[in-house]
Amino acid sequence: MPTVKKLAFTIPFLLSLGALYSYLSIFLEDIYLIFSFNPEVLGQMVIFVLLFLIVGLFFAVLSALAQNLKIVLPAAFLGSTLTFIFIPPPISLVIFFGSIISFTLVFFTLSRKLSSYIDFKVSELLIPSVKTLSLFLLMTFSVVFYLSSGAALKKEGFQIPDSVIDPVITMSISNFTEGQPQAQKSQTQIPPEQLQMLRQNPALLKQYGLDPSVLDELSPQTSKTPQNPQQALIKNEVKRQINTLIQPQIQFLPVVLTALFFLTLKFGQSILSVLLYPALGLIFWILDKTGFTKYEKEMREVKKLVV
């Protein structure tokens, strides 16, 4: 096969790997996104999981067509350097070496299969390698997420995200006020004069176990999403109770967050991996029909024992 054909899937592989690193940077910048129920964030997670599989798919096809370490390894090295564009060191170094090791191990495993197979069946030859590479990359990213979350918690402490607590509080208040007169359900705002007085006397809030920062939630001028006093006070108190509960065990929190990160994405990979079968079948069907590749049938002698 000409070298140009062997390199045909290098560009798709590099582009998909760069996109994967780009999405990883999003989750490293905000370690609490894994908790979010926001449809936009959930969409990003689905794309992130799909990119794992797409990278594995293009690398497996590239390895199957090239079957040459001198072609595949430079492509893997070049692709791994893309992490330095999206993620700053020293974390990017961990990703770089983890990616290189993952690509190398999967290539040698796949090349052993390709050198000894009898019948070319895509599902049996390539899909296990795609899943293995996706798992290796996820394990590498989980180590990086652990390091990143540990540094963030050490610097800023733990703060339960509003995206998690707001829907729960809103639902609870909605259920509580259901059936009450409409006038009682209407949201009221504390007058600015009273808010200013409370800011000047934070000790009044502390007497009731409230954090003065709750005033920012009540003020329309300082809050991005102004809430009614009832919801803001409840959220502040829930946050305080959770932080008090978690603070003594905060050293274990990076492990918990990393486990949640790994298990969530691994579950997504297990579900979406069913798409690999039609995707790989379609790729090799197109390659065959366009004359890019061809299949040869061989007749082999078989030695049998006869008594």
Residue 67: is it exposed, middle or buried by C-beta count within 10 angstroms (0-12/13-18/19+)?
Answer: middle
Contact (CB, 8 A) for 211 and 204: no
Give the span between the Cα atoms of 226 and 124, in whole angstroms.
Answer: 56
Domain positions in the chain are 3-158+252-289, 162-249
DSSP 248: G
The pLDDT, as a whole number, for residue 72 is 92
Contact (CB, 8 A) for 198 and 192: no
The pLDDT, as a whole number, for residue 186 is 45
The pLDDT, as a whole number, for residue 170 is 62
State the DSSP H helix or E strand holding residue 31, giving kind and residue range, or none if neither: none
The pLDDT, as a whole number, for residue 60 is 94
Give the span between the Cα atoms of 210 and 234, in whole angstroms.
Answer: 10
The pLDDT, as a whole number, for residue 237 is 61
The pLDDT, as a whole number, for residue 246 is 61
The pLDDT, as a whole number, for residue 301 is 76
Which residues in the chain come in under a pLDDT of 50? Answer: 183-188, 221-226
